[in-house]
Structure 1
């Protein structure tokens, strides 16, 4: 089963921080009311923090630890709390200065990753996008979110980042739904070029490209686009936010989901046939 919510890792991480704060309070022999009094806030706030309904600030954590005579816990708890806050970041925050910086910010992660598992249910993955397709996609994103127009620079950065797919020492397992072949971004010429590139990519030695056909008997339903990096972290892309998952049990669920999609996909000649049919449908 895939995760029930793309932001579930965030809540789990926040609950861990809250549990550690509760343990500090219990170890100090204090009630929530006593912690609140020592911190100078309401008992209700202590309850919200301890039940992970309110994310504490750095100052809140320091005050709580000080109240519990556990100042030494504060640095680790602040770091854990910040990490939880970074797991789920709204796109409007990530893209507020445009799209180019977002492309470049992921380069270090790409460069240290050896094994990529990519599942795309809506668009061609960035690794395999042509300039025309990337331009059409990023321009639609910029327009939808009202972003500064740096699409040309963002496309150049994305294409530069994508060169990693031709570097030695890496493996790319890529699965796309057949619907991706039919969703038209750009005009027919742009789509024909994009689909042609998918055919060429199938010959790259580091790439395994599969297509989940419309006719597949589903044991796994289509879910949000996601990428697994070395089985250690997952990035998934719902409409409103970027979700980064590092909890091992949740990463394992995405790896398991990828395995199910892999079983449903077709490869080689059968995958080529689906791509060619999509090209012919453009005429």
Structure 2
């Protein structure tokens, strides 16, 4: 699979297109950037940054811009373009503005919309499969980067509430993880021991198909990043800075092909549980070594 060019390029194209439309409206209105800035009581650098896609305008910026260049008829169209861009490239600082728990509640509403969920997770155990303490470790890391330490308990509770969907009739889950996911040291080993046990239990449910890609298995596609596919409607990719929501048919088709290729390299059922048991033994050995050294 090529690098994340199709996702980031599409978002950048949308951002540049919005900037170009605003620049054309300003020129059609017969104003220089300096003149528009003065009329709106903005710093001249703000107009330049918006026109060169270095700063994403707000709703109020769009409205003021259109009024300033006598193009109010373009407001609704430009707002729609802005909101589409924001949906496709949602920065974590904005998504988490309401707190970690609020973001989990938002995802719970999205979960209601789907029937078949497919996910590839090369680093983390997927949120819907996490134990409370593993989830707490993930939220603590997020809090270190973006704040919101005060609602970690609420976020854990909200994530556990989301997991109710796993037992809801008509919902199906196909999850592929790597063996590395089981052995990365991202939480205390005792927490990971319980987490792997949880995966073993979930792998036996009839509506869940869990695959594990062993270290020794050749993978024709490098596990560059994780993603979720909801039905055939939406692909969600999480990066360090943002959540990308991809809804274009070619993007969904690409990620579906990638998922199916990765699923073919994974072990399932008894073989997957054997890998989970192997991980349990490795983690238990780590705990023994630590105990002996203390």
TM-score bucket (shorter structure):
0.7 to 0.9
**Alignment pair present for 1:34 and 2:30:** yes
User: Using a 3 Å threshold, how does the CA distance of structure 1 residues 21 and 119 change in structure 2: closer, same or farther?
Assistant: same
Distance 1:237 1:106 in 2: 13
Number of matched pairs: 278
Report Cα offsets for 1:42-95 as digits up to 9, x if no partner. 999988767656545546655776788764443122112122024323323333
Deviation at 1:227, TM superposition (A): 1.0
Aligned to 2:200: 199
User: Using a 3 Å threshold, how does the CA distance of structure 1 residues 87 and 95 change in structure 2: closer, same or farther?
Assistant: same
Deviation at 1:168, TM superposition (A): 0.8
Aligned to 2:90: 89
Deviation at 1:231, TM superposition (A): 2.0
User: Using a 3 Å threshold, how does the CA distance of structure 1 residues 207 and 67 change in structure 2: closer, same or farther?
Assistant: same
Task: Tell me if structure 1 keeps the 8 A contact 2:117–2:231.
Answer: yes
Task: Tell me if structure 2 keeps the 8 A contact 1:171–1:207.
Answer: yes
User: Using a 3 Å threshold, how does the CA distance of structure 1 residues 90 and 57 change in structure 2: closer, same or farther?
Assistant: closer
Task: Tell me if structure 1 keeps the 8 A contact 2:50–2:57.
Answer: yes
Structure 2, unaligned stretches of length 5 or more? 39-43, 285-294
Map 1:57-96 onto structure 2 (within 5 A).
57-58=58-59, 61-62=62-63, 71-96=72-97
Greater CA drift, 52-61 or 198-207: 52-61
Report Cα offsets for 1:224-261 as digits up to 9, x if no partner. 22111122122211122222222332233222221221
Task: Tell me if structure 2 keeps the 8 A contact 1:210–1:271.
Answer: yes
Task: Tell me if structure 2 keeps the 8 A contact 1:35–1:46.
Answer: no
Aligned to 2:156: 155
Task: Tell me if structure 2 keeps the 8 A contact 1:61–1:74.
Answer: yes
Greater CA drift, 165-174 or 51-60: 51-60
Structure 1, unaligned stretches of length 5 or more? none
User: Using a 3 Å threshold, how does the CA distance of structure 1 residues 87 and 208 change in structure 2: closer, same or farther?
Assistant: same
**Secondary structure, in 3 states, of the residue corresponding to 2:177?**
strand
**Alignment pair present for 1:188 and 2:199:** no
Distance 1:224 1:186 in 2: 20
Task: Tell me if structure 1 keeps the 8 A contact 2:29–2:69.
Answer: no
**Secondary structure, in 3 states, of the residue corresponding to 1:150?**
helix
Map 1:129-140 onto structure 2 (within 5 A).
129-140=130-141
Aligned to 1:222: 223
Task: Tell me if structure 1 keeps the 8 A contact 2:36–2:68.
Answer: no
Deviation at 1:17, TM superposition (A): 3.7
After TM superposition, the score normalised by the length of structure 2 is 0.80
Task: Tell me if structure 2 keeps the 8 A contact 1:178–1:212.
Answer: yes
Aligned to 1:7: 8
**Secondary structure, in 3 states, of the residue corresponding to 2:223?**
coil
User: Using a 3 Å threshold, how does the CA distance of structure 1 residues 68 and 92 change in structure 2: closer, same or farther?
Assistant: closer
Deviation at 1:111, TM superposition (A): 0.6
Aligned to 2:174: 173
Task: Tell me if structure 1 keeps the 8 A contact 2:176–2:212.
Answer: yes
Task: Tell me if structure 2 keeps the 8 A contact 1:10–1:85.
Answer: no
Task: Tell me if structure 2 keeps the 8 A contact 1:210–1:267.
Answer: yes
